[in-house]
Amino acid sequence: MRLFLRRALACAIFFLVATQAVFAQVPKTVLLEDLTWTELRDQIQAGKTTIIIPIGGTEQSGPDVAVGKHNARAKALSQLIAQGLGNALVAPVIAYVPEGGYAPPTSHMRFPGTITVTDDTFEKTLESAANSFKVHGFSHIVFLGDHGGYQADIKRVVARLNKAWSGTAAKAFVPPEYYGASSDGYAQLLRQHGYRDNEIGTHAGLADTSLQLAVAPHMVRQDRLHNDLKLGAADGVYGGDPHRATAELGQMGVELIVAQTIQAIKRDTAGR
């Protein structure tokens, strides 16, 4: 009986220690929102001083792609970029961005599901986030905007931040390679594979839909992709045709965006 009790006690202690060890492990994540404040503090002190701020947007993307397209894509790509850098973490996605007016509705606001904010509100949100990260020890604040409509806003914010931070260790960046690779760069890659501009499109066409199939296929209504309906601006599809979109085509774009953005961030932060 005593031998049995000793063995039972030993097993219980082993289980308790093993369980505590599992729960004590820092999660293998680059997402800031999945860390505790002490885990984050320790990672910053250990050298993870680059923070990526992914900027998405909540807007219509035609009848075949969910309105959170940019948010999911910015988050997925930022994670891959942070993992490739090795010294970076990813902030929560900024999902509220300028998308047009609402009195009267203009641009994407003409379609249900789109959410807009003013340029001033958007820029102040970016500045507030960046200053928060600077306070806590991040020295490289990198903005990655997935949408073309607010690129000028980000550049203005970066210029103001770097002026205000002059003489400090902190610096803000907006590498043009991220959006350049996801738009013109990816379109050129698709042309090299035989796809036409009137398929590739600028919004919700083959390029946009293929990228989404690669990073978040559940957001694409694939059962409707291959019908014969011709989609146009009235449907929210601009200058393209998504019918031949595939995850394989999207993966080529993902690899291009991630590789070029990592290279750009390393270049911009070298020696800092």
Q: How far apart are CA 51 and CA 33, in angstroms?
A: 12
Query: Which residues are CB-neighbours of 77 under 8 A, at least 6 positions away?
Result: 54, 144, 146, 178, 215, 254, 257, 258, 261
pLDDT at 44: 97
Q: How far apart are CA 70 and CA 251, in angstroms?
A: 16
How large is the average pLDDT for residues 16-44?
Answer: 79
Q: What share of the chain is helix, strand, coil (3-state, %, to 5)?
A: 60, 10, 30
* Percent of the chain residues past pLDDT 90, beyond the cut: 86
Indicate whether 54 belongs to any domain: yes
Indicate whether 2 belongs to any domain: no
Spatial CA neighbour of 202 closest among 231, 174, 241: 241
How large is the average pLDDT for residues 106-121?
Answer: 96
pLDDT at 27: 75
Judge contact between 13 and 50, C-beta under 8 A: no
The overall average pLDDT reported for the chain is 92
pLDDT at 5: 47
Position 74 pLDDT exceeds 50:
yes
Position 204 pLDDT exceeds 90:
yes
CATH label of the domain that carries residue 51: 3.40.50.10310
Structural domain tally of the chain? 1
The amino acid at residue 129 is A
Indicate whether 222 belongs to any domain: yes
pLDDT at 32: 98
Over residues 133-181, the pLDDT tens digits come to 999 999 999 999 999 999 999 999 999 999 999 999 999 999 999 999 9
Structural domain that includes position 99: 28-269
At 173, is the secondary structure helix, strand, or coil? strand
Say which residue, 97 or 26, is predicted with more confidence: 97
pLDDT at 221: 95
Q: How far apart are CA 187 and CA 196, in angstroms?
A: 9
pLDDT at 11: 57
Q: Does the CA dihedral 52-45-42-136 come out positive or negative?
A: negative
pLDDT at 229: 83
- Which structure tokens are listed for 207? 């390029």
Which residues pair with residue 240 across a beta bridge? 200
How large is the average pLDDT for residues 178-196?
Answer: 97
Indicate whether 84 belongs to any domain: yes
Judge contact between 168 and 161, C-beta under 8 A: no
- Supply φ then ψ for residue 233, to 5 degrees: -60, -35
